[in-house]
Amino acid sequence: MNSESQRSANASLAYAILRLSFGANIFLHGVSRLLGGRAAFLAYLNHYFEHTPLIPHGMLPVFGIVQPWVETILGALLVLGLATRFALIAGALVMTVLVIGTNLSQDWTVAGLQLIYCFLYYYLLAHLDQNSFALDRLGRRGGTN
């Protein structure tokens, strides 16, 4: 194997490990919230946003129901490398909503940490051509997209 193909193979392997690790992180965010129960997550949201007047508190129950499922599904897709582009775009848009909410609550520490997630979504999407070890690739080998 020449050095160029070795570099390409290493980049694809590194991408797969990062996608798998990041997907597991997102997946387990959702699963832990589902296992903890809707009431517990809603109580957390109500407490977190109790002094945030720009967030309509009537939206929190809907968010509390939807968010754990979104995280679970998007994380599973990333772990599998299935519909990876969709999962990365959707996840990045979810992060945008979370960053806005966190900044409105003036939690600057969490807002800073969320930017790491934003960067990971960016990186994985910008380097999607390295997504070789993924279920997405099975469809392309068979001639479909």
What are the pLDDT digits (tens) for 33-84? 999 999 999 999 999 999 999 999 899 999 999 999 999 999 999 999 999 9
Nearest to 136 by CA among 88, 94, 92, 93: 88
128 vs 53, which has greater pLDDT? 128
Overall pTM surpassing 0.95 (yes/no): no
Evaluate whether 8 touches 73 at the Cβ level (below 8 Å). Answer: no
Handedness of CA 25, 29, 30, 35 (dihedral sign): positive
Nearest to 135 by CA among 54, 81, 95: 81
Residue count of the chain: 145
